Amino acid sequence: MKLDDRQRRLLQRTFLDYQPTADFLDHPLVVSRAEGLYYWDVEGKQYLDGIGGIFVATLGHRHPRLVDALQRQLGLLTFAPPMHGISDVALDFIERIGQVSPGGLTYVKPFSGGSESIEAALKFTRQYFRQTGRPGKTKFISRYLGYHGATFGAMAASGTGRRKSPFEPQLGGFIKVFPPTHYRDRFSSWDECNRFAAQSVADVIVHEDPDTVAGVLVEPIGNTGGIITPTEEYFRLLREICDRYDVLLIFDEVITGYGRTGAMFAAQTFGVTPDLLCGGKGLSSGMVPLGAMLARQDMGMAFDGPGDAGVNFAHGHTFAGHPLACAVGLAVIDEIVTHDLATRAVQLGERLAAGLERLRQYGVVREVRGRGLLRGVELVRDERSLAPFPELGRALKRTALAEGLILRIDPSWFAVAPALVASEAQIDELCDRVDRSLHQALDLVTRQGHTA
């Protein structure tokens, strides 16, 4: 699409997340309408949303049931006084998400996004240990290539170098380990590689001194590393290690939650229950900002001391538990349960994975990874060298937009995560558009002389 002078001027008064404005001005996208799996830009061009905005539109855009829930709530209550009370709909949301959460995570605080939920989980963990007689347990272990949010604590826990280096020094007490993919070429089997990666977490805890380690924070499937998908055993081992050293296991399910991987939460998909779980993004299908921190009920009870002792979780946000957000979140969960969209994600996910596997014909695919409707494709220059191919990803970003397709591209891998309400035909359309975009991107880089 083309920008007019006014749009160009206004775009120079703001910024797009994690990208240079100049790049964006070269290949702009200004959208004005969306429905289901499609966006339309201001010139009327249609785009297939292969990534739910950014892992957000679980039920597609403007799902009628969510529009109804929002409209109903608009007629009742649009703000509750946080220092005095809570809305009835926030209580309904807390009850509902507790019914579908992995075992026992019924202590819930709704927030306005992923970073807020992560930030709260980090603070909750530290205060929990302080008030249960283990004040020395303060450090967090998380993974390189992981992303947990843009605020200072969530950023410190993230392992994304370039997104962090402008803001050094980072907060102290955040230690990184590598995800299993980092070691994959050193092992003959993926299982063995995962065992090693899990053991590295135990080694770090021991060498840091378990009395100083509070939590292990991981995305069950790591987006920013290219849909890194560990084995179920990896998570079982992490659970055992955390139990052994009295360390809390914290899952960042901002992307993996709400049916996407084949169960309501990836914790259930992988068969492991964390002590805390953070949600955001798809919890409202993008209609309103919503996140949530879920914790073990007994942990919540540690904050339930006598009022005169001043025991409380020393934390809050003005918009946390906003009635409009809770009304929509409630409807999202109901819709996923009523239509068993988690099972649908498994069925459609197999179709999507098969379509992505067909891209191997181009000789630039190392792996197709993921579960359910969260899939990633790693791009390499050729299948022999397995060298990353960032130029191809950068070209793909342009050709996909031209083809009317929105993906997450970074730039040696790309991810797809369409709405759980997609039809089989839409999954096929998505695979076709990805195929055409990749084909054109390869032509582009070949013409530019970038291939090996």
* Contacting positions for ligand PLP (CB under 6 A): 113-115, 118, 147-150, 219, 223, 252, 254-255, 280
Strands 38-41 and 46-49: antiparallel
Q: Which residue is nearest to ligand PLP (CB)?
A: 114
Considering the complex, what minimum distance in angstroms separates the CB of residue 243 from ligand PLP?
24
Report the nearest approach of ligand PLP to the CB of residue 221 (Å). Answer: 9
Cβ distance to ligand PLP smaller for residue 49 or 252: 252
Q: Nearer to ligand PLP by C-beta: 66 or 395?
A: 66
Nearer of residues 254 and 365 to ligand PLP, judged by Cβ: 254
Least gap, CB of 151 to ligand PLP (angstroms):
7
Q: Which is nearer to ligand PLP, 219 or 410 (CB)?
A: 219
Peptide bond into 220 cis (omega under 30): no
Nearer to ligand PLP, 153 or 323 (CB): 153
Task: Judge contact between 276 and 294, C-beta under 8 A.
Answer: yes
| Minimum distance, C-beta of residue 294 to ligand PLP, in the bound complex (Å) | 14
Collapsing DSSP to helix, strand or coil, 298 comes out as helix
Q: What is the DSSP string of 225-278?
A: TTSB---HHHHHHHHHHHHHTT-EEEEE-TTTTTTTTSSSSHHHHHT---SEEE
- Residue nearer to ligand PLP on the CB measure, 145 or 392: 145
- The least CB distance from residue 100 to ligand PLP, in Å, is 19
The first and second tokens of residue 439, run together, are: 């084909």
The token pair at 147 is: 């992303």
From CA 33, how far away is CA 28, in angstroms rounded? 16
What is the distance between the alpha carbons of residues 120 and 93, in angstroms, rounded to a whole number? 18
Closer residue to ligand PLP in complex, CB, 221/345: 221
Assigned token pair, 302: 């540690």
- All residues at 6 or more sequence positions from 139 whose CB lies less than 8 Å from its CB, including other chains: 173, 174, 175, 208, 212, 213, 214
Closest separation in Å from C-beta 206 to ligand PLP? 27
Query: What's the closest the beta carbon of residue 289 comes to ligand PLP, in angstroms?
Result: 7
